[in-house]
Amino acid sequence: MAKVVLAYSGGLDTSVCIRYLQKLHKMDVITATVDCGQDDDFAEIERRSKAIGAIKHVYVDAKEEFARDYVIPSIKANGLYQNKYPLATALARPLIAAKTVEVAEKEGATAIAHGCTGKGNDQIRFDVTMRALNPALKIIAPIRDMNLTRDVEIKYAKEQNIPISTEAKKYSIDLNLWGRAVEGGDIEDPDFEPPEEAFQFINFKNDKAGYLEIEFENGAPVAADGKRMPIIDLIRYVNDKAGAHGVGIVDHIEDRVVGIKSREVYEAPAALAIIEAHKDLEKMVLTKHELAFKKMVDEQWAWLAYAGLWQDPLRSDLDRFIDATQNRVSGTVRLKMQRGSLRVVGRKSRYSLYKNDLATYAAGSTFDQSLAKGFVELWGLQSITANSVADAASKKQQQKGGNKK
């Protein structure tokens, strides 16, 4: 029988997919679970896959690669879609797709499958990456193809004795190292406040203020609170600490690629704290011209990552520009956090463009104020001229009107 490799999370959608692929497509199913830091019970996922009928299960530990090749570039790009969403799900999908393609090639499969619906962004991220990496592999998306809803899936799972976690889950969760997306249930009402129980990392009871110091080298975080640590440990450390002070919730209206507006709730303490610190450090070391241009680049970068165009050459082109700007983004940023608020209270860098002798209002300034007079005159030249021209024109208009009477 022909073989298909299914990107398998162990959840309802992908569990149902195993059986559909066997029954409807008459294929041997190999499941591949890619670990991007979702902290799942991977042994249980393997057991479930086998119980449903997969002929083989493959676990891929991609945490390191996810942090190094996806999360760090996103930090350098201040990756926030629509200025809010730290892209956790969006960044993991192209990597999961790439690993699934690798497994398919190794196993001699003719097709790959995923459990995405036709309503979201993930189908785009999977399909585009898979096709870009190996156009010969056929892509099967059973949930999308059959237009399935969760209720139908649950019914089918029961009929088919597909083991799904029995506890009626209130929300659908997507988790990885960079953040957690909470969807479904009562929070589909955009006017309904997400209850505290929707969150896993946020402490709502802690009133105390806390400080967090993050050190960057060439735009990447390398130490927290004075301790150097590997990137995965650092992200987890910052996540725990910021979450303990209530920092990390994003609740916004998001524009999906397919045109749907959705209410999205995220929990990403590390991402929000690290990006806030990184942005602040950039403001200290980059020129205003670099900052203005990079802002546009960052926005475009986040859009490509969000919209499933990770494989587009523009993304790596932008990465090269961004990397070049990060040569001087080294230094330390101190954050203060309390009851969900996050504020930079200090920063220092050997590349700092802040010069106290220029900025100070106290004695000892080296800034020659007499130069400012002429500069201001030239600076405002066009604005002032435009105003006087408009003024003169309207006076003329009034006079004409007056003459007619």
Q: Does 250 bind ligand ARG (CB under 6 A)?
A: no
Q: Does 122 bind ligand ARG (CB under 6 A)?
A: yes
Shortest distance, position 100 Cβ to ligand ARG, whole Å: 15
**Two tokens at 87?**
């892209």
Piece of 70-78, 118-126, 185-193, 211-219 that binds ligand ARG (CB under 6 A): 118-126
- Which of helix, strand or coil describes residue 240? helix
Q: Does 264 bind ligand ARG (CB under 6 A)?
A: yes
Catalytic residue list contains 352: no
Among 174, 276, 280, 282, binds ligand ARG (CB under 6 A): 174
Tell me whether residue 32 or residue 90 sits nearer to ligand ARG (CB atom): 90
DSSP state at residue 85: B
Q: Does 40 bind ligand ARG (CB under 6 A)?
A: no
Piece of 101-109, 120-128, 215-223, 346-354 that binds ligand ARG (CB under 6 A): 120-128
Gap between the Cα atoms of 352 and 259, Å rounded: 42
Gap between the Cα atoms of 247 and 203, Å rounded: 8
Phi and psi angles of residue 19, each rounded to the nearest 5 degrees, phi first: -65, -40
Residue 68 and residue 231 in contact, taking contact as beta carbons nearer than 8 Å? yes
- Angle 263-264-270 from CA coordinates, rounded to 5°: 160
261-267 and 249-255: which strand pairing? antiparallel
Residue 314 and residue 322 in contact, taking contact as beta carbons nearer than 8 Å? no
Residue 194 and residue 182 in contact, taking contact as beta carbons nearer than 8 Å? yes
Integer Rg of the chain from CA: 26
Residue 29 and residue 6 in contact, taking contact as beta carbons nearer than 8 Å? yes
Residue at 403: amino acid letter = N
Q: Does 251 bind ligand ARG (CB under 6 A)?
A: no
Gap between the Cα atoms of 309 and 358, Å rounded: 44
- Owner of token pair 């105003």: 387
Catalytic residue list contains 383: no
Tell me whether residue 39 or residue 233 sits nearer to ligand ARG (CB atom): 39
Helix, strand, coil shares of the chain, percent, nearest 5, are: 50, 20, 30
Tell me whether residue 98 or residue 285 sits nearer to ligand ARG (CB atom): 98
Beta strands in 65-171 (DSSP E): 111-113, 138-140
Among 14, 15, 22, 89, binds ligand ARG (CB under 6 A): 89
Among 32, 140, 181, 249, binds ligand ARG (CB under 6 A): 181
Q: Does 90 bind ligand ARG (CB under 6 A)?
A: yes
Q: Does 96 bind ligand ARG (CB under 6 A)?
A: no
**Two tokens at 106?**
């190794």
- Owner of token pair 């976690």: 165
Piece of 48-56, 119-127, 359-367, 379-387 that binds ligand ARG (CB under 6 A): 119-127
Among 102, 107, 183, 312, binds ligand ARG (CB under 6 A): 183
Total number of residues that touch ligand ARG (CB under 6 A): 10
Catalytic residue list contains 240: no
User: From the candidates 13, 127, 174, 298, which is the catalytic residue?
Assistant: 13
Tell me whether residue 73 or residue 331 sits nearer to ligand ARG (CB atom): 73
Shortest distance, position 54 Cβ to ligand ARG, whole Å: 22
User: From the candidates 15, 35, 49, 93, which is the catalytic residue?
Assistant: 93
Catalytic residue list contains 347: no
Q: Give the footprint of ligand ARG on residues 287-326 (CB under 6 A).
A: none
Shortest distance, position 101 Cβ to ligand ARG, whole Å: 19
**Two tokens at 315?**
């993304």
Count of Cβ atoms closer than 10 Å to residue 131 Cβ: 15
Among 213, 251, 254, 323, binds ligand ARG (CB under 6 A): 254
170 burial level (CB within 10 Å; 0-12, 13-18, 19+): middle
Shortest distance, position 283 Cβ to ligand ARG, whole Å: 27
Shortest distance, position 181 Cβ to ligand ARG, whole Å: 4
- Contacts with ligand ARG by CB under 6 A lie at 89-90, 120-122, 174, 181, 183, 254, 264
Q: Catalytic site residues? A: 13, 93, 122, 172
